[in-house]
Structure 1
């Protein structure tokens, strides 16, 4: 279905130059002179290559309709994630590359949403937040204020995050999967 370029949003799947792309980021740029343009960062669904495109806001693009389906992550088998349909218990292979930067946050038995275009998986959405344990954190530097200074810490999945100075190794924290940022100390 055709839509104006200024309506493109992250997560949508569009067709451009005869190929299917999933939109990663979009930004409207308003230059000092002239009309506004929309800059879109997108990933080719077949090759995984990223590309940046610019359109005038009045241009139209072909948006592909996606179907959402919930699955449970079972395990990784080489280059594929094996997901299970919670209703039929059938296994469904999905390429690992679809996860992109969110791959380290995938956990056993995690509920995920798979977006499909004509039955083909195009992207996976993980839960917005996950709880992980810190395995390594820098010690607090004396005189450091708690207001704006964060320190680096390494999570059990190997991801480096910035945490407040009162967080120590061994504690569990809640992390946003979208951008690997600290949310809060885990409760309980």
Structure 2
């Protein structure tokens, strides 16, 4: 689907210079002299390289639609990850390389993820935005710290370090934002 250069938004996938790129950041620029343009930071979906490009409204780019489908994560076998389609129970295998480094610790057996593919090739995985984990270790509260702004380090049961409020102790279940690894709230279960 062809779109104008000024219509590119973060998250859009475009075909540019014979590669698939995801728009990471977009900024509309209106210089004092010359025409307006859209300054776009692109990230290659397959390789991971970044590119900054200027697109004018008069330019057209090819926007690509990725197929998105829910799968259940089953297990990891060395370099391959195995997922199962929730409807047909078919299994697919994908290389570890399409998984972002910060996503890997949150990939636990049995979770439902959304896999993005293009013409049958797996290009990315989208984890649930919030997940529940148990605190394995938590530092003791330092006396004299105020409750409103102080956080202490803790380690989740998957080995990820997170900052939590002082009242959270080892064994407590908490909700974590998987996008940036931050504490959200105490789990309600």
Q: TM-score, normalised by structure 2?
A: 0.86
Moved more, 95-104 or 34-43: 34-43
Q: 1:178 to 1:17 in 2, by over 3 A?
A: same
Correspondence 1:104-119 to 2 at 5 A: 104-119=105-120
> In 2, are the aligned partners of 1:28 and 1:39 still within 8 Å (CA)?
yes
Partner of 2:93: 93
Q: Tell me the SS of whatever aligns to 1:14.
A: strand
Could you tell me whether the CA contact under 8 Å between 2:21 and 2:42 is conserved in 1? no
* SS of structure 2 residue aligned to 1:146: coil
Paired with 1:159 and 1:72, the residues of 2 have a C-alpha distance of 22
Q: Deviation string for 1:91-149 (max 9, x for gaps)?
A: 10122222202111111111111112112111111111110111222211111111112
**Which runs of no fewer than 5 residues in structure 2 stay unpaired?**
none
**Who wins on radius of gyration, i.e. which is larger?**
2
Q: Tell whether the 8 Å contact from 1:6 to 1:28 is kept in structure 2 after alignment.
A: no
Question: Separation in 2 of the partners of 1:60 and 1:39?
Answer: 14
* Separation in 2, partners of 1:126, 1:137: 25
Q: How many angstroms does 1:32 deviate by?
A: 6.9
Uncovered stretches (5+) of structure 1, i.e. residues with no partner: none
Between 1:138-147 and 1:11-20, the stretch displaced more is: 11-20
Shift of 1:29: 5.7
Compared with structure 1, are the counterparts of its residues 78 and 155 closer, same or farther at alpha carbon in structure 2 (3 Å cutoff)? Answer: same
Does structure 2 conserve the Cα–Cα contact (< 8 Å) formed by 1:138 and 1:153?
Answer: yes
Residues 28, 38 of structure 1: 8 Å contact kept: yes
Would you say how many aligned residue pairs link Structure 1 and Structure 2?
185
Distance 1:132 1:161 in 2: 11
Alignment-derived partner of residue 180 in structure 1? 181
Aligned counterparts of 1:148 and 1:142: Cα–Cα separation in 2:
14
User: How do residues 144-159 of structure 1 correspond to structure 2 at under 5 angstroms?
Assistant: 144-159=145-160
Residues 6 and 186 of structure 1: CA distance in aligned 2, closer, same or farther (over 3 Å): farther
Does the C-alpha gap of structure 1 residues 104 and 2 become closer, same or farther in structure 2, counting only changes over 3 Å?
same
The answer as to whether partners of 2:8 and 2:26 remain within 8 angstroms in 1 is no
2:14 aligned residue: 14
- Superposition RMSD in Å: 2.1
**TM-score when normalising by structure 1:** 0.87
CA distance in 1, matches of 2:177, 2:133: 11
